[in-house]
A and B are shown apart, each in its own frame.
Chain A
Amino acid sequence: MKERVKQILEETKRGLKPPTNEEMNEVTAKWLFGKHAGKMLKYAPWSFVLLKILWKKGEGPWEN
């Protein structure tokens, strides 16, 4: 790899602000549980047993 390419990559790496695990958890929880994200995350993993309650009658694949 050329020195100039290594230099560009190093500069790029220094500037990266990738999402943290906490950010990923928050954004995933919001996407998965909408307005319930906060409480689902707070009490995870036990809160996930409530997931089935989020489904309305007729929505669950197990009902097919």
Chain B
Amino acid sequence: MKESLSRYERIEAAWNLEEADRVPVSPLNCYILAYQGGISIREMFHEPEKFTEAVVKAREKIGEGDQEDPNITTLDHLSLRPKSGWDQVTLDWRIWDQFPPEGNIPSFFEKCIIEDYDDVMERGFSTLLFNKKIGKDVFNRSLEDFLYYEFEYPEIYAKAWRKFVEEHEVPLIMGGRATIPFELVLYYRGFAKFVQDIFEQPDKVKDMCEFVLEHEILNALKQAMIMGAGEVPGAEKIFFQAGVVGPPYISPEVFEEFVWPTLKKGVDMIVKRGFKAHVHTDGDMTPVLPVLKDITKGLPKGKVLLDFEKTDMKKAKEVLGDKVCIWGNVPASLLCYGTPTEVEEYCQKLINDCAEGGGFILATECETPWNAKPENVRVMIDSAIKYGQY
């Protein structure tokens, strides 16, 4: 048996395509941390000390994974300047105070915000700030409120998470977030019109993806610095994410022509500045694995991770195993509606398919649903210990 490693060393080994003491396990816990920790969404968003205390309580119920997500989404939702397409200033995001049935987790109301790509590239996004299509609640926020949550609150938030990491020796999954440009533009255009654009004005779509890229990446790097990159384990990682940038939502051809160029450029920008890129994609990326094989081209080893949802993990290991660490993919449906035995069997198979030689982190499909059964999440953690020893 290998020497027992700290959580961060275990995760680092996987990123570096090395076998650790055991397979790392890292369910992507977001709203479930607040829900199982006994606090409301409002408290989760506005009281970071209370949130990190809730995280400790939640981990007692759902198990102690090797990392935790500091939920940078909350900062993005409250920000003055749009970040990752999660803001309420240019898009219609609605945020409730409570979990269902009284409220809901934040929900996106898709609308066509950008009418003309050329116009936005000419005049900038300032023309879309506080536009008429966003939610009306945002106009109830004061000037002081916006300035506080943009400039002071991220520091307070980071301080609470730094304390959590130091006290519990649990690294962060990320320090900053960015959205893959193809998807970010889609948020502003709406799915139906965006798909039409791909065929009717393809060059404009590509130009717009290029237009938003640098702003998106540099903001994420700045956020990671606030979260303590280089001092707080895991804060150096940028969660470069998207929900619908691959099959079945778009074809492999559209992926290669429209998604890949700015996805690869973004990863290069992150890594060449010394940060690490955690590339999160929903959907089934199996048909585009041959393209993703080049994600590390020209980059040093151990700086990129590919996080999969519905992708065939065995195939991903075959195609990418010697290039990049892979992450995934216990189904959300199984965590909500399955039994612990079913989850355990699924985890065992994933470990058998992907763990050999290192470079695999046992994780959830997208995120752990807020209403996942605690015993099912816990069995994921236990499975990594039971079946994942190197």
Contact of A28 among B127, B215, B231 (CB under 8 A): B215
Residue of B123, B131, B229 contacting most chain A CB atoms (<10 Å)? B123
A-facing residues in B222-246 (Cβ within 8 Å): 222, 224-225, 229-231, 233, 236
Task: Report B-chain residues with C-beta under 8 Å of the C-beta of A9.
Answer: 230-231, 233
Let me know if A61 and B132 touch, CB within 8 A.
yes
Let me know if B124 and A13 touch, CB within 8 A.
no
Let me know if A18 and B273 touch, CB within 8 A.
yes
- Residue in B closest to A29 when the chains form the complex, CB atoms: B124
Let me know if A33 and B275 touch, CB within 8 A.
no
Complex: A27 Cα to B212 Cα, angstroms: 9
Identify whether the interface residues of A are mostly helix, strand, loop, or mixed: helix
Contact of B124 among A8, A17, A30 (CB under 8 A): A30
Task: Report A-chain residues with C-beta under 8 Å of the C-beta of B230.
Answer: 9-10, 12-14, 16
Let me know if B6 and A34 touch, CB within 8 A.
no
Complex: A59 Cα to B126 Cα, angstroms: 11
Residue A44, interface by CB 8 Å: no
B interface size (C-beta, 8 A):
37
B-facing residues in A22-64 (Cβ within 8 Å): 23-24, 27-28, 30-37, 51, 54-56, 59, 61, 64
Complex: A59 Cα to B115 Cα, angstroms: 12
Complex: A22 Cα to B78 Cα, angstroms: 24
Let me know if B273 and A5 touch, CB within 8 A.
no
Residue B121, interface by CB 8 Å: yes
Task: Report B-chain residues with C-beta under 8 Å of the C-beta of A30.
Answer: 124, 214-215
Let me know if A2 and B6 touch, CB within 8 A.
yes
Complex: A7 Cα to B8 Cα, angstroms: 12
- Residue in B closest to A16 when the chains form the complex, CB atoms: B274
Complex: A17 Cα to B221 Cα, angstroms: 9
Query: Smallest Cβ distance from A16 to chain B, in angstroms?
Result: 4
- Residue in B closest to A63 when the chains form the complex, CB atoms: B132
Residue B146, interface by CB 8 Å: no
Let me know if B125 and A13 touch, CB within 8 A.
no
Residue B323, interface by CB 8 Å: no
- Residue in A closest to B229 when the chains form the complex, CB atoms: A16
Let me know if A61 and B273 touch, CB within 8 A.
no
A-facing residues in B88-134 (Cβ within 8 Å): 120-127, 130-132
Known A1-B169, A61-B131: A32·B231 in contact at CB below 8 Å: no
Query: Smallest Cβ distance from B20 to chain A, in angstroms?
Result: 12
Known A2-B6, A27-B218: A33·B130 in contact at CB below 8 Å: no
Known A9-B233, A13-B230: A55·B124 in contact at CB below 8 Å: no
Let me know if A27 and B121 touch, CB within 8 A.
no
Query: Smallest Cβ distance from A56 to chain B, in angstroms?
Result: 7
Complex: A59 Cα to B134 Cα, angstroms: 12
A interface, CB within 8 angstroms of B: 1-2, 4-5, 8-10, 12-19, 23-24, 27-28, 30-37, 51, 54-56, 59, 61, 64
